[in-house]
Amino acid sequence: MRTLLAVLALLVLPFGAQARQYAILSLVGDELTIVQREMATGSRIDRNTQLKVPLGGASLDRAMLLAVDEAVRKADPAARPVLLAPRDPKLFEVATLSLDGGGTAAVFEAVRAVASKANATHLILVTKHRHRAMLRLPDGHVGDGVLEGLGFYLDHGSATRGSGAMMGDVERGFISPYTYFKVAVIEMSSGRIAAEEYVVGSLAHTVTSGTIGNAWKALTDDQKDAEITKLIRSEAARVVPMVLGRG
């Protein structure tokens, strides 16, 4: 009887619960955005200046791929995802334009040919997300304007806005890596978006007394790289099981 059931299970599998095969593709690491908060003179209105820094390598997309891969394997130990790392500028351009219209569906159509080479049943697609600035501090969130993708938000602080031990985080200023991205699970055969969730991640570091007025120097270059990578990993670990569970 057990042998018969095993044979029947093999016969039913292709028509029923086919095991999922995932491909993972990230389009968030083409640039970093450095956002600087500035207070307009004589006004309470805040305005941001933004500097886009193109990244020649794929280090941040690689970090994202590895983080999502790790999260997938923890959620499904049998999974053996295929990691895709296209560097075609046109794909990143489509992903950026999708923020203004078209969304995930438009990006999938652009990457379908690349993703199909993985022979996967599902694509886990990571793209940039646009959201109002919400930088996490110990006692809440601060920030002005709108952020997207990966970058750093700077509030340089001011010694004239407080003094001594009574200075709050905002008076002293802070530097915060941020990761605003979206994770979608897409059926390769139909293009149906099975599940989608966005991430608004940040982790502010208060400026020390020696760097008030220059928040960028509050972290070394190695620390900046480590902090944004750590944020990518923690947010991917949180959101990937959510989309897999719904998709």
DSSP string of the chain?
-HHHHHHHHHHHGGGS-PPP-EEEEE---SEEEEEEEEEPTT-S-EEEEEEEEE-SS-HHHHHHHHHHHHHHHHH-TT--PEEE----HHHHHHHHHTTTTTHHHHHHHHHHHHHHTT--SEEEEEEE-EEE--EEETTEEE--SEEEEEEEEEE---GGG--GGG--HHHH-EEEEEEEEEEEEEETTT--EEEEEEEEEE--EEPPGGGTT-GGGGS-HHHHHHHHHHHHHHHHHHHHHHHHHH-
Domain count, the chain: 1
Residue 25 CB burial class (10 angstroms; 0-12, 13-18, ≥19): buried
Q: Please indicate, yes or no, if residue 170 is contained in any of the structural domains.
A: no
Q: Which of the residues in the chain have pLDDT under 50?
A: 1-17, 42, 160-167, 169
Range of the domain at 36: 20-151+175-205+231-246
Whole-structure pTM value: 0.85
**Residue 45: per-residue pLDDT:** 54
Per the domain annotation, does 1 fall within a domain? no
Has residue 219 been placed in a domain? no
In a domain, residue 32? The reply is yes
Residue type for position 241: P
The answer to whether residue 159 is domain-embedded is no
| Residue-level pLDDT at 153 | 96
Residue 212 inside a domain? The answer is no
Looking only at the bridges linking them, the beta strands covering 31-39 and 46-54 are antiparallel
pLDDT digits (tens, 9 = 90+) for 58-91: 999 999 999 999 999 999 999 999 999 999 999 9
Residue 168 lies in a domain: no
pLDDT score recorded for residue 117: 95
What is the per-residue pLDDT for 112? 97
Which pLDDT belongs to residue 208?
A: 76
Q: Is residue 144 part of a domain?
A: yes
CATH at residue 87? 3.40.50
